[in-house]
Amino acid sequence: KRPFIIDCDPGIDDAVALFLAASREEFDIRAVTSVAGNVNIDLTTQNALDLCREAGLSTIVARGAAAPMLYPASDASFAHGVRGLGTVTLPASPQQEDPRHAWDVIYDEAVKAGGRLEIIALGPLTNLGILLTKYPDAARLIANLTIMGGSRIYGNQNAYGEYNLWADPTAADIVFRSGVPVDMVELETIFRAKLTSGDWGDLLACDHRVARLTGEIMRYKTERGEGMQDLITAKSDDPSPFLCDCMTVACVADPSIVAWKRCHVDIETEDGPSRGRTLVDFSPRPSGFRSCRVSMEVSREGFKRVMEEMFRFYEG
Ligand code: BDR
Ligand code: CA
């Protein structure tokens, strides 16, 4: 099995991403770590605990950073509902959070996994920025880090900034300079591979609590018509939401659905209209160092297939 950490800020799309990760039998999820992002850290931590319970995932849940490394805390509750899961309030899990900080748990698991640990980061990169600052040897212990974040063309927070990297560009900068092998699932690729309301009608037809919850949690975004944003190249007339984090987990679960291109990414860390921008550079670089791979295309059919597998898993 592949040892994983899921670092997240649930969050509507984080919630469905956790359901997906928990359904993959080849994933050994060593811990779920929370970070402040879509909503505050108390809520993202409680949501992580409650979602793990719904998914039947028994693993450590550890609390991460309450605010970005340098910037003040912000949230995206306008897009995720005041508690982060649309209008859904889950029954509280009896499980307590781990007493350690998220970054200490990640480090311990990285050491235990002896260089095999994979991380999927679905929120601001604060916990990873702290990890790499506190434990400089962590970089060579991480086999791969897949992030939902950044953009090649346009942002969703400002002209070029995608929310997760905009929220904590300082941490993102540390991560991209660290030498950790980073795969970046960027915004436009995700928008182009969106599942439509018709697809979701097929997927959610099964009779299981996770399918019902997925539908209820997603509804908040569908009703707000977020999936219809006119983002120049990804114009859509279908209101179903993008579920960025869920597609990111799907790319890790089935790498055949995504095409990557190696590149170098610098992060705009200054405050201002370009904050959080990912400068994606495909040009040959004199030093030869290229910090990551960026997603170029995700197969819509492939993504739908991965989601079908997920619902089949829960139906049993
Ligand atoms: C990202 O920002 C958050 O609001 C979502 O959960 C996703 O991780 C999309 O920009
Ligand atoms: Ca997220």
pLDDT at 234: 54
Q: Is the beta carbon of 76 within 6 A of some atom in ligand 1?
A: yes
Our mutation pick for probing the ligand 1 site, out of 148, 243, 249, counting the most ligand atoms within 8 A of Cβ, is 148
Our mutation pick for probing the ligand 1 site, out of 122, 158, 242, counting the most ligand atoms within 8 A of Cβ, is 122
What are the phi and psi torsion angles at 145 (to 5°)?
A: -125, 120
In terms of Cα–Cα distance, which of 298, 199, 189 is closest to 234?
A: 189
pLDDT average per 10 residues of sequence, the chain (316 residues): 98 98 98 98 98 98 98 94 97 98 98 98 98 97 98 93 98 97 96 92 92 96 78 68 96 98 96 97 82 96 98 93
Looking at the DSSP assignment, which residues form a beta bridge with residue 142? Answer: 117
d(CA 11, CA 215): 14
What's the farthest any 2 CA atoms get from each other in the chain? 56
pLDDT at 229: 66
What's the half-sphere exposure (Cβ side, CA atoms, 13 Å) at 148?
29
pLDDT at 45: 98
Q: Is the beta carbon of 298 within 6 A of some atom in ligand 1?
A: no
Show the tokens assigned to 206: 């099964």
- Asked if 191 and 231 count as a contact pair (C-beta separation under 8 A), the reply is yes
Q: Report the separation in Å between the CA atom of 285 and the middle of ligand 1, taken as the mean of its atom positions.
A: 30
Quote the pTM value: 0.97
Classify burial at 272, counting beta carbons within 10 Å of its beta carbon; exposed 0-12, middle 13-18, buried 19 or more. Answer: exposed
What lies within 8 Å, CB to CB, of 46 at 6+ separation is: 92
Show the tokens assigned to 201: 């009608």
Is the ipTM of this structure higher than 0.90? yes
